[in-house]
Amino acid sequence: MHYKLIVQYDGTDFLGWQLQPQGPTVQGALESAVQRLFGAPARVTAAGRTDAGVHALGQVACFRALKAMPVADLQRALNALTPDGIAIAAVEVVADDFDPRRHASSRTYCYRLWRPRWRSPFWHRYSWHVCAPLDVDALRTAAAALIGEHDFTSFQAADCDADHAIRRVLRSDFSVEPEQLVYTVEATAFVRHMVRNLIGTLIEVGDGTRSVAQFRDLLGQRDRRQAGPTAPAQGLCLMAVTYER
């Protein structure tokens, strides 16, 4: 039986999604729970391999079990067997050939900026504290320039092993919320650290360090050294993964 999970997690205490020998990961916690429940090891795969400290409200994961279990019972059991920082929001049976990564048509992330001068004891785990004045109109103009198909080499991690950095962005905008500024980006796929590198550079547009035109030029320069710093992981959250079928 092939099960699809919608997984939510607070990434603060995990070394990311993917199994790591040196510490706890979301994949490791889920595989441990599945093994305890079914009495046999199972590989849990996901739509996206989030980095250490990155959160998720809509991660999609799959695993195969040797025996069937009602989805409501499976959801309840997995939630009982996983750490408090992980929750299974939904479970469904899917086709044997369903692949959460390859079959995804888009992924949506948001990045939260905490704007007041004081640090929030509640939001500091889920946002980047940036209290400097920011030009929201400039941020929105720069963000909109990312929509469409571009080469994001300037915004990929130096150790990214992707064959190429050409990605298609479907949505890229900023919204103002009480005490926060939220960047939302949807794309068919992302290169490693793409959103965090975009945010680190967009902040430089917002504070006047670089112009919108200079930001646009980075897409053509294809040089990571010319872009801004990598924003901290804790502000980033995988919101949703969409599928056409």
User: Element (H or E) spanning 18, and its range?
Assistant: none
Q: Are 230 and 119 a contacting pair, CB within 8 Å?
A: no
What is the C-alpha to C-alpha distance for residues 235 and 77, in angstroms, rounded to an integer? 30
What is the C-alpha to C-alpha distance for residues 45 and 26, in angstroms, rounded to an integer? 11
SS3 at position 62: strand
CB-count exposure of residue 129 (10 Å: 0-12, 13-18, 19+): middle
Catalytic residue among 10, 51, 207, 223: 51
Residue 51 among the catalytic residues? yes
- Give the catalytic positions in this structure: 51
